């Protein structure tokens, strides 16, 4: 069997959170294109259903949509139970849901701080541990977390201390779980994207004016594309990455190299 065949995900089952659009939609599409059955998990059920239908029609795979508040332990448990029941198992997951609140620290309310931590870090703990318990009891699996280059640098000019701290926490959580589960068949890795040109970024009245400045600072002079994150996620979800755990993959066009 050649490397292309080995990279396929035929027979595998998984889910992606925050998958109705953006990065999550792209990775869910890539997983299905590689042969996996996938659950599109999002708080926006209507868009998740549209995305699931689109991917299913394009790939011929079983793709379902599940509404889930990833900050709720009960919702995440119910979501994982539904994935296992509807897809027939759980081999991988991509904890991708996240938000960014751009508010100066001296103006940020504690409520805003907590919301950022809940969505970006606490939800990853819930997703990883609840999915991980199933994987630990059923032969193993692969967990992928979306961190950020903001875990490695402090972004400018936008103020985003809560986001940066939460994403740094994601990387340390990833490494901690990888160590705990290294001998038990569950691998945990993270990806750290740089500035990615999602629909949200490109249309945001707050962020859109900053794109020219970001590009001026970027070695490649441009934003990344969501599709440029797909191959690493397919690799991490599959069986060619069985010696890869506890790693963070920075995908930023060399932005953090200086």
Q: Which residues are catalytic?
A: 148, 163, 167
- Bond prior to 105 in cis (omega within 30° of 0): no
Secondary structure of 1-29 as H, E, C letters? CCHHHHCCCCCCEEEEECCCCHHHHHHHH
C-alpha distances out from residue 29 to 20, 127, 137, 144, 145, Å: 11, 20, 27, 15, 17
Sheet architecture: strand order including 13-17: 63-67, 37-42, 13-17, 92-95, 141-146, 186-193, 248-251
Strands 37-42 and 63-67: parallel
Cβ partners under 8 Å of residue 185, min gap 6: 135, 136, 139, 140, 141
Nearest to 89 by CA among 7, 12, 33: 12
Identify the burial level of 74 via C-beta atoms within 10 angstroms of its C-beta, where 0-12 means exposed, 13-18 middle and 19 or more buried: exposed
Residue pair 143/128 in contact (Cβ under 8 Å)? The answer is: yes
């Amino acid at each position: 069997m050649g490397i292309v065949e080995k990279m396929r995900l035929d027979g595998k089952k998984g889910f992606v959170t925050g998958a109705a659009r953006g990065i999550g939609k792209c990775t869910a599409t890539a997983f299905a294109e590689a042969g996996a059955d996938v659950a599109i998990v999002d708080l926006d059920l209507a868009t998740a259903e549209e995305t699931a239908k689109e991917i299913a029609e394009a790939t011929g795979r079983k793709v379902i949509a599940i509404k889930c508040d990833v900050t709720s332990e009960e919702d995440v448990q119910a979501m994982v139970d539904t994935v296992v029941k509807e897809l027939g198992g759980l081999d991988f997951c991509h904890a991708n849901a996240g938000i960014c609140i751009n508010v100066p620290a001296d103006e940020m309310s504690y409520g805003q701080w907590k919301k950022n931590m809940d969505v970006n870090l606490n939800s990853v703990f819930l997703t990883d541990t609840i999915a991980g318990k199933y994987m630990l009891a059923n032969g193993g699996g692969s967990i992928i977390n979306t961190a950020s280059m903001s875990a490695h640098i402090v972004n400018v000019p936008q103020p985003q201390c809560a986001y940066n701290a939460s994403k740094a926490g994601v990387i340390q959580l990833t490494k901690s779980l990888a160590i705990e589960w290294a001998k038990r068949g569950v691998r945990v890795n993270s990806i750290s994207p740089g500035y990615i040109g999602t629909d949200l970024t490109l249309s945001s009245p707050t962020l859109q004016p900053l794109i020219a400045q970001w590009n001026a600072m970027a070695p490649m002079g441009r934003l990344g594309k969501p599709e440029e994150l797909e191959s690493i996620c397919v690799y991490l979800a599959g069986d060619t990455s069985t010696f890869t755990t506890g790693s963070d993959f920075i995908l930023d066009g060399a932005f953090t190299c200086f």
